[in-house]
Structure 1
Amino acid sequence: MSFVTTIKQQFEANENVAYGKKQSDYLKNNFPFYGIQTQSRRDILKNCTSIFKDEIKTNFRAICWELYQLPQREMHHAAIDIFLKEIKNKYQIEDIVLIEKLLLTNSWWDSVDTLAKYAVGGYLKAFPEKTLEIIEKFSNSEAMWLNRTAIIFQLGYKKSTDFELLRSECEKHKHSTEFFIQKAIGWALREYGSVNPTAVLHYVNSTNLKPLSKKEAIRKII
């Protein structure tokens, strides 16, 4: 029996239809849920991965993609958890292809934000020379979730944030009427504002951001 089959059986055995309906409602009914709470999902995942350690270590990319194509949202979160654990310090140059597929498959804020910050952010720390190429591609894409990724991928960078790049992304997308883009701009600026509030305040006051972006950017500064 494979890892994917095993974890599917374990999730099914712990299904809670009523709670799953609440979870699905929370994500605008974009995905079905087994109805498993986060800690229980992680406990099940931990138990299953301990049984299939060798299979996962040697084949985690294919396993993650297989999980990600299943309908239930718990499968997608399990895939992300596995990917981020196994990829640490093991990024390969071609991994951006899989990361982009994950960003564009079963996309919603709960998956995209995690992948943007940790998978894309981690990949570009491993291959900084690819930053401008990848971010320009994502930023110019017609896919909104790639645009959002281009804005927020530096969330964990703190003082290492390339503020010129962040500012250029904000400028490029500041007129967007898309909620998730406006929110991303404010979020990214707010995070950088925790280490450089002067720069963020100056930028916000010198450009015409959407009200939501501005509100989110400065709400912890003033």
Structure 2
Amino acid sequence: MTYVGAVRAALAEVGDPARAAQQQAYMKSELPYVGLRAPALSALLRPLLAEHRFVDRAQWEHAVLELWEDAEHREEWYAAIALLRYRAYRPWLDPDLLPLLETLVRTGAWWDVVDEIASHLVGQVLLDHRAATTPVMDAWSVDADSLWVRRTAMLAQLRHAGRTDTDLLGRVLVANLDDTAYGREFFVRKALGWALRQHARTDPAWVRTFVRTHADRLSGLSRREALKHL
């Protein structure tokens, strides 16, 4: 049995219909849930990831897309992300993976999947391959069609701490201030503030300067988030 088949077989044997309905309502998801809590899903996936190893990158990417595109439950999306994040495949997190990650962001188009892809996957590619990935983040930050692609560019450095490229961070945030194409969208404003708040842990002076410099173009929400711990 393949990883995809094993995931679907395992999900078919578990779940909680009452919790599933609550999860679907909370996440405003068109896809139904099986009804697993996150720790239970992680425990279910862990042995499957260990047992079903991929030695061929193309097959690995195909499995991700199969889980994503043919999903009948949202947990299959989470299983696809778990497959991408599995430690054995860290060497495959490179710029060649960005088109696939972009597809997941555009089609997932909600914070539960986009934020994990942004911070753990796109962020790792950016950290390891800055020269090749930085122009992609600049392009994503001004994407004409998807606020979620823009959000990904803003959140990609959440985990970079002292290795944050502040020139890039500044550009992608300025590209999404309140007077820009998606600047008044809640999830853009929230991401902008979150990115600033997180970087304030490393460089509070930079964040204060950014907020002061762009005060007239920064929403109240973004400002409050940015200065929350300052």
Per the normalisation by structure 1, the TM-score is 0.92
List alignment gaps of at least 5 residues for structure 2. Answer: none
The one of 174, 179, 187 aligned to 2:186: 179
2:178 is equivalent to residue 169 of structure 1: no
Contact 1:151 1:166 in 2 (8 A): yes
Q: Is residue 120–residue 153 contact of structure 1 (8 Å, CA) maintained in 2?
A: yes
| CA drift at 1:132 | 3.1
Q: Distance in 2 between matches of 1:26 and 1:32?
A: 11
CA distance in 2, matches of 1:87, 1:49: 11
Question: Cα–Cα, structure 1 residues 93 and 197, in superposed 2: closer, same or farther, change >3 Å?
Answer: closer
Check if 1:190 corresponds to 2:197: yes
Q: Which residue of 2 aligns with 1:122?
A: 124
State the one-letter code of the partner of 2:228: R
Give the Cα–Cα distance (whole angstroms) in 1 for the partners of residues 41 and 7 of structure 2: 10
User: Structure 2 residue aligned with 1:216, among 214, 222, 225?
Assistant: 225
The 5 A counterparts of 1:69-88 are: 69=69, 70-85=71-86, 86-88=88-90
Alpha carbons of structure 1 residues 29 and 103: separation in structure 2 relative to 1, 3 Å: closer
- Does the aligned pair in 2 maintain the 1:117–1:155 contact within 8 Å? yes
In structure 2, give the amino acid aligned to 1:74. Answer: E
**Could you tell me which residue of structure 2 aligns to residue 152 of structure 1?**
155
For 2:36, the equivalent position in structure 1 comes to 36
Q: Quote the Cα distance in structure 2 between the aligned partners of 1:116 and 1:103.
A: 8
Cα distance, 1:57 vs structure 2: 4.2
One-letter amino acid matched to 1:27: M
| Counterpart for residue 110 of structure 2 | 108
**How far is 1:61 from its partner?**
1.6
- Of 156-165 and 208-217, deviating more is 156-165
CA RMSD in angstroms comes to 1.5
Moved more, 205-214 or 86-95: 86-95
- SS of the residue aligned with 1:151? helix
- Would the aligned equivalents of 1:68 and 1:105 in 2 still touch at CA under 8 Å? no
Q: Find the aligned partners of 2:148 and 2:55 in 1 and give their Cα distance.
A: 29
The alignment-based identity, stated in percent, is: 27
Deviating more after overlay: 109-118 vs 1-10? 1-10
